[in-house]
Amino acid sequence: MSRAHLAVHDLGGDGPTTLYAHATGFHAHCWTPVTAALPQLHNIGYDARGHGDTPVGPDWAASDHVDWDVYGHDCALVAHSLSVDGQVLGVGHSMGGAALVMAALTAPELFCGLVLYEPIVMPPLEPGAVPVGGGNHLAIGARKRRGSFPSFEAAIANYSAKPPMDIFTPESVEAYVRFGFRPGHDADGNPNVTLKCSPEHEARTYEAGGIHQTWERLGDLAVPVWVVCGLPQVGQPSAGTKTLAERIPGARYIELDHLGHFGPMQAPNEIAALVSEASRAFRTP
């Protein structure tokens, strides 16, 4: 049983319930540029542990330990709370896609279907392979991430000028910063804004991303699934996305080779169109 206080956000719209799960280091409101184009759906997002407005919580074995199975359990809890109005459509990006897969494996009756953009579900390590973490470039980058800025505007200008967010739409960068930082003061009493998801928690989440055992259970998924991928690139999640889709019974694989791993922030209207199409397909008898 989860003892975390999960922050759940109404992202607008009126219609069948659609649940959005975000990527590592992001938060529910990063989906708002997508949901803005989907007023015909009731769009709900939630902040994962240690992200956005959700605290890490006391469930994990230690404060420095991240367990992706807990991310999946939390996702199932949110979906269960929303299912009073009928089955929900799950839409997940990266870590959020993995959380939705785990939730649907646990409680398939909650979902009419899933739309997964490059979900982080990896095959188990080969014997003798180096565990994910020690050389994890994403974790290394997260630990070097700047944690505060003098203002929201300064943070927006910084992120807009360099990868990976320089390819985001302005609305996506704005959403990330406005809801991903909290206002406060530095040690000298000057106003500033600070990341809600600490660089250390983000790094530990990356390090644990290849450890969960979801890959071997993909064949048990009993809900309709669309797996969406940007341009397949060696060393990126996209490299294994097609193989992942092939392991899911009846899954539809969609490749958008003009996008990268951050497709939902790069082309929110295009992703919204896919979500709308999936909602109609999954909810039509």
Residue 192 lies in a domain: no
- d(C-alpha 39, C-alpha 277), whole Å: 14
The encoded tokens of residue 201 equal: 């928690």
- Torsion of the alpha carbons at 186, 7, 116 and 165, rounded to the nearest 10: -20
pLDDT of res. 132:
41
Q: For 266, list phi and psi in degrees, rounded to 5.
A: -85, -35
Residue 197 lies in a domain: no
Residue 244 lies in a domain: yes
pLDDT of res. 124:
81
Range of the domain at 61: 8-131+209-283
Structural domains counted in the chain: 1
Residue 40 lies in a domain: yes
Residue 179 lies in a domain: no
- Give me the CATH number covering residue 36: 3.40.50.1820
Residue 181 lies in a domain: no
Look-up of token digits 């490299």: 239
pLDDT of res. 4:
64
Residue 187 lies in a domain: no
How far CA 189 is from CA of 178, 184, 254, in Å, comes to: 21, 9, 50
Encode the chain (285 residues) as per-residue pLDDT tens digits. 455 689 999 999 999 999 999 999 999 999 999 999 999 999 999 999 999 999 988 776 665 678 899 999 999 999 999 999 899 999 999 999 999 999 999 999 999 999 999 999 999 866 444 444 344 788 999 999 999 999 999 999 999 999 999 999 999 999 999 999 999 999 999 999 999 999 999 999 999 988 888 999 999 999 999 999 999 999 899 999 999 999 999 999 999 999 999 999 999 999 999 999 999 999 987
Residue 251 lies in a domain: yes
- Torsion of the alpha carbons at 94, 99, 105 and 108, rounded to the nearest 10: -100
How far CA 216 is from CA of 121, 126, 249, in Å, comes to: 10, 14, 13
